[in-house]
Structure 1
Amino acid sequence: MPLPVLEAAMVLTWSSGSIGMRFSADYAPVYLVTLWRFVALSIGLFPFVAREIRHTPQPVLIRQTCIGALAMAGYLAGVAGGVQRGVPAGLAALIADLLPIGVVLISSCLFRQRNPAIVWAGLGLGLVGTLIVCRDALSLGGAPVWTYGLPVAGMLSLAAGTVWQQRSSHCGTLSPLSMLWLQSLVSCPIFFALQASQGCIAPILSAGFAASIAWSVIFATLGGCGLYWACLRRSSSARVTSVLFLSPPVTLVWAWAMFREPLSWLMALGTAISGAGILLVINRIGGEGG
């Protein structure tokens, strides 16, 4: 399948994650939904990945486990934890959408990877477009100051996992499905501990809770995360993450379709600016790895 088609599907499903969190908030705490999301994935995917996992060298499994702890558990614990403690959802989503800049910063500062000025210009345009799209959803809120660091830590955790995955791909890796299974498995005890520290870990027997789990499993994880890793196998981290600057406007379309939230021409303008920035990045680095 052509890479742009995969990237379009990735943006569509990745954007469903925020909608799933909003939908599930009416039925259960976010950590509880996330815990049972990963339990369902760990059980459901195992028959499909058991053979590959069994034949994968142990060093690869250990490395992918660590990457999964950063990219899945660390990311969601930070972003969802911030929202749960009072950080406005719009602001938390905006911080999470800074992932392209986080990836480039980590690559540049830790690994001395040089990026041309046009890449930074593209990332800057993407950020400006995202700020315009999210303008009406942003507020500082009244949460304790330290909680605003949680979404930042979550975004940087995913950025670190992304860079690690890209730089170690030549040492052996797993298929996207096996990566999702391993990431879900390592996330289970982490979210078990997080939810147990706040309340009951038993699932809630309701249609709303079941629908929340199904949404996050099918769209956010198998769709968004699975396609994210699939795209990274075929292109550079700078290109793939820059495409996620289109996530905010697509999220707003999701919100319009599901919750009848209004759309505006200002959102369209921001989307166009982000798109221009993405084109700069894509035209410069193309499909090269990095």
Structure 2
Amino acid sequence: MSKQIGIPAWAFLVGASAAFVLSWSSGFIIAKIGTGEAPALTVLVWRYYIVGATLLLAIAARRFCRGALVFPAWRDIRPHLSIGLFAQFGYVLPIYLAVGAGVSSGTTALIDAIQPLLVATLVGPLLGIHVRALQWLGLVLGAVGVALIVAADLSAATSPTLAYFLPLAALASLVAATFQERRTSAHLSVFAMLSTHAAITLLALTLLAFLTGTLSPPNTPVFWLSTFLIALVPTLIAYALYWYLLDRLGIAALNALLFLVAPTTAVIGAVLFDEPFTLATLTGLVLGAAAVTLVIAPPRTRSSNSLPTGSAQSVAVPVSVPAVTSCGRDIDEDKVAS
């Protein structure tokens, strides 16, 4: 009997988690570069034109590989129109406006990192999912780490005070999208979900840019390079990983990874833009790592006899989705696990 060769499931998830942190962090960094060349809305609308063109090419490639494509039913697409508006339009626009107003990329990410605590607070009453005591401890440690770094950064801030509320609006929008997606019975593949979200966001951004006179792009290499990178990494890669890991890890575990996005962005911002990196930043990084460890760590195994009927063992809500795709053909999860 031949031995099955593949990537261990845990290694695949660790790699996907690391890629998620880096790709999500890049959105804050590239946003600072892009908004230095053009208004935030101009950067965003052309970002989504590139995203739309990329997805159309992907659809054409899938049709070439598969032949006739089977499109999702309207009843499955309809809930994702509002989810897409919250997850992308309502999230990226406030983030870019904040960075464009002078809020540092690190601080924007750090304010956004409050999201995991908000999710864990709401996950029980809204979804009926149990959050363990160690996970609460991890979330509190992460919040303390974020608070330390934000406090240090605010002491040197020159941005308008109101600009710091924009990242709060962004995280509230993404939380709303996350809970709405978990409560809907409509299920789309990651590709179909990204395509739907990008399409509705592109329409909203185009209308807003047209009304505000910010649709025309500058003809500079830096603008187009940063816009292309924004379209590829934080939009396509990061959002695909977000929805994939949401299904595989669960809400609390996935959002705990956002605690690592904040210090990662702060470190990159310090290197590239000379943004402050102090002892508080380092402390926040350590606390963020501890928070993720506590939240993601699986519960201690117990015998089935010791578990009361109906008790919850984990916050994860697994949903079967394709692990990887190759030329439009789904590779089953057991091909990834050893």
2: CA distance, partners of 1:144 / 1:269: 25
- What per-residue deviation string (whole Å, max 9, x for no partner) do you get for residues 64-100 of structure 1? 2221111111111233334445666554332211121
2:175 equivalent to 1:143: no
2: CA distance, partners of 1:109 / 1:245: 23
Amino acid in structure 2 at the alignment position of 1:183 = H
User: Which stretch of the first structure deviates more once superposed, 54-63 or 81-90?
Assistant: 81-90
Q: How far did 1:28 drift? A: 0.5
Residue 250 of structure 2: aligned partner: 236
Q: Is the 8 A contact 1:128 1:270 kept in 2?
A: yes
- Cα RMSD, aligned residues only: 2.7
The DSSP-based 3-state class of the residue aligned with 1:234 is helix
User: Which stretch of the first structure deviates more once superposed, 134-143 or 4-13?
Assistant: 134-143
Q: Is the 8 A contact 1:49 1:181 kept in 2?
A: no
TM-score computed with the length of structure 1 as normaliser: 0.87
Q: Is the 8 A contact 1:88 1:138 kept in 2?
A: no
Q: Is the 8 A contact 2:109 2:261 kept in 1?
A: no
Residue 105 of structure 1: aligned partner: 121
Residue 34 of structure 1: aligned partner: 44
2:79 equivalent to 1:63: yes
**Aligned match of 1:22 in 23, 32, 37?**
32
Query: Are the structure 2 counterparts of residues 9 and 160 from structure 1 closer, same or farther at C-alpha, using a change threshold of 3 Å?
Result: same
1: CA distance, partners of 2:193 / 2:227: 19
2:239 equivalent to 1:221: no
Residue 168 of structure 2: aligned partner: 152
**Aligned match of 1:196 in 210, 218, 221?**
210
Q: Is the 8 A contact 2:104 2:275 kept in 1?
A: no
The DSSP-based 3-state class of the residue aligned with 2:249 is coil
Residue 122 of structure 1: aligned partner: 138
1: CA distance, partners of 2:85 / 2:251: 18
Q: Is the 8 A contact 2:106 2:266 kept in 1?
A: no
Query: Are the structure 2 counterparts of residues 262 and 155 from structure 1 closer, same or farther at C-alpha, using a change threshold of 3 Å?
Result: closer
Q: How far did 1:112 drift? A: 4.9
Q: Is the 8 A contact 2:91 2:173 kept in 1?
A: yes
Amino acid in structure 1 at the alignment position of 2:246 = L
From the CA coordinates, give the structure whose radius of gyration is larger.
2
1: CA distance, partners of 2:175 / 2:269: 26
2: CA distance, partners of 1:219 / 1:137: 26
**Aligned match of 1:77 in 93, 102, 115?**
93
- What per-residue deviation string (whole Å, max 9, x for no partner) do you get for residues 87-125 of structure 1? 665543322111212222332344454423322211110
Amino acid in structure 2 at the alignment position of 1:69 = L
- What per-residue deviation string (whole Å, max 9, x for no partner) do you get for residues 14-70 of structure 1? 101110111112211111111111111112212324769852111111112221111
Q: Is the 8 A contact 1:125 1:274 kept in 2?
A: yes
Q: How far did 1:286 drift? A: 6.1
Q: Which runs of 5+ in 1 are unaligned?
A: none
User: Which stretch of the first structure deviates more once superposed, 17-26 or 116-125?
Assistant: 116-125
The DSSP-based 3-state class of the residue aligned with 1:205 is coil
Query: Are the structure 2 counterparts of residues 91 and 259 from structure 1 closer, same or farther at C-alpha, using a change threshold of 3 Å?
Result: closer
Amino acid in structure 2 at the alignment position of 1:177 = F
TM-score computed with the length of structure 2 as normaliser: 0.75
How many residue pairs are counted as aligned between the two chains? 287
2: CA distance, partners of 1:86 / 1:261: 12
User: Which stretch of the first structure deviates more once superposed, 221-230 or 103-112?
Assistant: 103-112
User: Which stretch of the first structure deviates more once superposed, 210-219 or 250-259?
Assistant: 250-259
Q: Which has the higher helix share?
A: 1
Query: Are the structure 2 counterparts of residues 22 and 271 from structure 1 closer, same or farther at C-alpha, using a change threshold of 3 Å?
Result: same
User: Which stretch of the first structure deviates more once superposed, 277-286 or 60-69?
Assistant: 277-286
Q: Is the 8 A contact 2:191 2:240 kept in 1?
A: yes
1: CA distance, partners of 2:134 / 2:235: 32
- What per-residue deviation string (whole Å, max 9, x for no partner) do you get for residues 191-239 of structure 1? 2233234323022221011012112012211222221112112120110
2: CA distance, partners of 1:22 / 1:69: 23
1: CA distance, partners of 2:47 / 2:84: 15
Q: Is the 8 A contact 1:97 1:245 kept in 2?
A: yes
